[in-house]
Amino acid sequence: SLLAAGLIGRGCAQGGPLSHLTPVSLTVAELLDHAVPEIPTLLVIDQFEESEQLPAADRARIFEILATLPGNVTCVVALAASSFGFALSDERFAAHLDSPVLLGPLTTHEYRQIIEVPANRHGRAVSQELIQMVLGDLHRYGDPSPGTILPLLSSAMRRCWRHARGQT
- The DSSP-derived string for 66-131 is HHT--TTEEEEE---GGGHHHHTTSHHHHTT-SS-----PPPHHHHHHHHHHHHHHTT----HHHH
The CA–CA distances, whole Å, from 56 to 26, 59, 61, 64, 130 equal: 20, 5, 9, 12, 48
The candidate with the shortest Cα–Cα distance to 65, out of 106, 102, 36, 98, is 36
Confidence of residue 62 (pLDDT cuts 50, 70, 90): very high
* pLDDT, the chain, mean: 87
Confidence of residue 46 (pLDDT cuts 50, 70, 90): confident
Confidence of residue 5 (pLDDT cuts 50, 70, 90): low
- Answer whether residue 140 shows pLDDT above 90: no
- Answer whether residue 147 shows pLDDT above 70: no
Q: Name 110's Cβ contacts closer than 8 Å, sequence gap at least 6.
A: none
- Answer whether residue 89 shows pLDDT above 80: yes
| pLDDT mean over 31-57 | 92
The candidate with the shortest Cα–Cα distance to 113, out of 163, 150, 162, is 150
pLDDT tens digits, 128-138? 999 999 999 98
Full-model pTM: 0.69
The CA–CA distances, whole Å, from 160 to 66, 111, 150, 166 equal: 41, 16, 15, 12
Rounded distance between C-alpha atoms, residue 107 and residue 165, angstroms = 29
The CA–CA distances, whole Å, from 77 to 37, 46, 84, 96 equal: 17, 6, 11, 10
Encoded amino acid at 114, one letter:
I
